[in-house]
Amino acid sequence: MKNILITILVFSTLIINLPAQTITRYTTAQAHSHNDYEQDRPFVEAYMQQFGSIEADLFLVNDSLYAAHNRSDIKPDRTFSKLYLEPILAQVKKNDGNIYPQKDLQLQLLIDFKTPAEETLAALVKLLQPYENIFVPKGTVKIVISGNTPSPETFDKYPSFIFFDGRPDVTYTADQLKRIGLISQAFQKYSRWNGEGDLPEKDKKSLNKVISQTHSQDKKIRFWATPDNIHTWKTMMSLQVDFLNTDKVIQMGDYLRTAPR
């Protein structure tokens, strides 16, 4: 009887410690278009590849929201509305309320604030509020705020369709964690690997630790500034990273659709 109880306890412990998310086959649903506004066709390139995540840096200037990497890059015709919101609304209308023709596919829109959180988020909420039915939890487009995010203590001030990009080293309350849509961190915090040869074993252990920690919270993880080549993408997949960071949208799309597993 004692041995049976020990076996049950060990088995239960193993179940508890299993990753919350196990990706058995990677598709473009796990691809993240980093700094998407720098693509030849912002939004369109990643959308046509059916990427699961798209990133846009955002500046608030004179009550208008612009997608740009630096303030000096801002151009009058490159507003957030024109590059992202309007194309999203068009696709949702075309697909009977869903972002993609396949009803089970979501699109995460990671919006990296480059201007102060409170006023930038107020402007964004005002812009998005009329369309809240297309956003998670009601719709299939997930808004996640990154960069200059507000303090976790204020998360509950914002509408339920606003989620936030968390950090692995921040401890969130249970209620705050509900508003975390993603966990992100710089790859260089764990490794200086350049994408050639094998990932050092020490670095792999560090990455596995933070990935397991994130999955134990039932959250997805992304690393920014990873090397951007096929060998790195394969390595990230072997580690069960949820979103594969890339600036090479077409190349990653082609790889994920055609590469042997």
- The per-residue pLDDT for 5 is 40
Cβ-contact 138, 173 below 8 angstroms: no
Assess if residue 12 is contained within a domain: no
Reference 136, options 167, 178, 80, 101; nearest CA is 178
Assess if residue 14 is contained within a domain: no
State what percent of residues in the chain have pLDDT above 90: 90
Cα 104 to Cα 41: distance, rounded to the nearest angstrom: 25
Assess if residue 54 is contained within a domain: yes
Assess if residue 76 is contained within a domain: yes
| Backbone phi and psi for residue 40, each to the nearest 5 degrees, phi listed first | -55, -40
Q: Using one digit for the tens of pLDDT, what is the confidence trace for 194-236?
A: 999 999 999 999 999 999 999 999 999 999 999 999 999 999 9
Mean pLDDT of all residues in 97-116: 97
Number of domains in the chain: 1
- The per-residue pLDDT for 261 is 57
Mean pLDDT of all residues in 30-34: 98
**Taking 50 as the threshold, does the pLDDT of residue 9 lie above it?**
no
- The per-residue pLDDT for 259 is 74
pLDDT band at 260 (very low <50, low <70, confident <90, very high): low
- The per-residue pLDDT for 29 is 97
Assess if residue 153 is contained within a domain: yes
- The per-residue pLDDT for 22 is 82
Instruction: Give the CATH number of the domain where residue 230 resides.
Output: 3.20.20.190
Which domain does 222 fall in, by range? 27-258
**Taking 90 as the threshold, does the pLDDT of residue 240 lie above it?**
yes
Cα 148 to Cα 183: distance, rounded to the nearest angstrom: 15
Q: Using one digit for the tens of pLDDT, what is the confidence trace for 46-101?
A: 999 999 999 999 999 999 999 999 999 999 999 999 999 999 999 999 999 999 99
Assess if residue 175 is contained within a domain: yes
- Rounded to the nearest integer, the mean pLDDT of the chain is 92
Strands 53-61 and 64-67: antiparallel
Q: Is the dihedral of CA 20, 24, 28, 34 positive or negative?
A: positive
Assess if residue 43 is contained within a domain: yes
- The per-residue pLDDT for 11 is 37
**Taking 90 as the threshold, does the pLDDT of residue 166 lie above it?**
yes
Which range, of 7-16, 89-98, 112-121, 251-260, averages the lowest pLDDT?
7-16
Assess if residue 214 is contained within a domain: yes
- The per-residue pLDDT for 24 is 86
